[in-house]
Amino acid sequence: MPDIQKGRNTVIEDGAEIGENCVIGHNVVIHKGVVIGDYVTIGDNTVLGKEPYAASTSATTSTEVLQPLAVGNGTTIGASCVIYKGASLGEKCFVGDLATIREKTKIGEKTIVGKGATVENGTSVGKRVKIETGAYITAFSTIEDYCFIAPEVTFTNDNFLGRTEERKKHFKGPTLKRGARIGANATILPGITIGEDALVAAGSVVTRDLAPRKIYAGVPARYIREVPQEQLIEEQEYFDNRE
């Protein structure tokens, strides 16, 4: 076993790989096949590499062979999180307490998934993204680099609201292009694309594709004005156009 600190009642199944200088809290479960990098911190009561269960009526969870969960170097995972088999987290990510990350989800480096947030299956999240407390990211969504998603934002992926078999052909979550920002309690309808560096105000309902570098607000969301130059992602000190 490499140099790790391990709490009481922790279960590490055979076949799990854990890097150097990791800290593992109490009552943690790490399933077989999980691959954890160096300098990773895992909070109490967290479950890593959980196999997904499918309800008999589930329309988005499939039964298939999944790749092992991979957790990048320097990542911190809070208490009572559940991260599924088939997910991957890049280096130096931060996952808040009580968060859930489902199978076949990819999280880029230095991305934050906030307390109690849910990222559903088949979702792609870029690097340096912030998904804040209580946000719900539905299955089959795409979030590009440098996006910001405020607390209690809701993504949706089913225009049929669970009725008819036809809906299964059309499931698709929203797509946020690089640097897009979504205000608190906004709702994004299925299949919507929000343009690069666009901003959606708090409480808005987005019912159509939004153009880049513009501010939208309301129910339904409507154009308000241009995003100020100083707020564009390329104007920020942490932005690296070489990446």
| pLDDT 10s digits, 5-48 | 999 999 999 999 999 999 999 999 999 999 999 999 999 999 99
CB of 198 within 8 A of CB of 166?
Answer: no
Which class is 43-50+73-235 in CATH? Answer: mainly beta
Mean pLDDT score, 134-160? 97
Give the per-residue pLDDT at 62: 63
Question: What pLDDT shows up at residue 166?
Answer: 84
Determine which helix (DSSP H) or strand (DSSP E) holds 227, and give its type and residue range: none
Query: What is the model's pLDDT at position 167?
Result: 85
User: For 39-76, what is each residue's pLDDT tens digit?
Assistant: 999 999 999 999 998 776 666 666 678 999 999 999 99
Question: Does position 211 have pLDDT exceeding 70, yes or no?
Answer: yes
- List 18's β-bridge partners, or say none: 36
Say what the pTM is: 0.93
